[in-house]
Structure 1
Amino acid sequence: MIEQTREIVHKFNTVYGETLVEPQVLLPENQACMRLPGTDGKAKMSKSLGNCIYLSEEPEEIKKKVMSMFTDPNHLRVEDPGSLEGNTVFTYLDAFCREEHFERYLPDYANLDELKAHYQRGGLGDVKVKKFLNNVLQEVLEPIRSRRKELQKDIPYIYEVLKKGSQEAEETAAQTLDAVRSAMKINYFADAELIREQSEKFK
């Protein structure tokens, strides 16, 4: 979609002059955050597949989903070397965990690189890694969940925020349309020069 928009803007500006702002892609610096896989290891989360973690879910439900996450199917015993490729648990850790999480929840390791290295050489079970991920996600999601519950108590306020946002969007859209009409010289009711020319023509 953004590629099509950029192409349209480029063509319009080429014909009518610099009028529209070309949209830029805004992506997270952390590659793992670009597209999280489903908890079952599928390419993406899907409500129909039931492999999502929702921002509003209670701690026990999140824990249940984390503990059932897809890992390395060949990592059958703790002593077995584990693979990180396609391992959903480590993908989520790449996205969400920080070094301070290790200090609080898994002090045996200084950072994620150490945890990964141990998992790859064997001797680290999936359950321990999943418990760590659960603690990380609970910390990350708790403020969001609490804020949601707080806002649910004041539905009129939510509608007021949405209304204000819609009004601001309408104003911005109107300004953009005015700029487009002006560039295309079809702003008939505001083009003083056009009105003057027509007045002269029909004298």
Structure 2
Amino acid sequence: MVEGPARSGRGTYHGVCSTHLSRLSEGDIVQAVVQPPSSPFRLPEDPSVPIVMIGPGTGLAPFRGFIQARRALKTDGADLGEAMLFFGCRHPDQDFIYEEELKAAEADGVIALHTAFSRAQAERVYVQDVLRQQQAQVWRLIEDGAIIYVCGDGASMEPDVRRTLTKLYAEQADVSFAEAEVWMEEFAASGRYVLDVWAG
């Protein structure tokens, strides 16, 4: 049950839903409505569509669900498209959250895991740096129809990822950066560059 000090400073706050559920008895019926998600930040309907997930730190959260869904689809015999996960944190020994889970998903062929550790060595490495290192694979997936998902910091990480992808297109298509920016806008407008980001 959700419970804690009230924001007003007076008394205790009790979560509405969790309090209600805690008072139910086994076998009680709970009324609920299940609706399809309206957010574009979800796995493609066709599981064979390749995906690229970029989520450093807490940006990993939705991708755990993606990975679990892909694992279930694989168990059911679905033809899965390739999936790359770019995860970043400060140090592998300090804040590599869900390390075992992610490595198991890679070992099982559910994802290809690419990590960036910003404080594990003298030179800081971020997800956009590892994205650049894997540009041949990323480009191949883009050409194969991949959807790119980015979750996390919208103030600096996402603009850096966008810039990296724009440069990648400029190099691959042999066009100017300005022309590549137009491509990037069209890529996003087509629903193939999907964001769940925040600033602050």
Normalised to the residue count of structure 1, the TM-score between the two structures is: 0.24
Higher strand share: 2
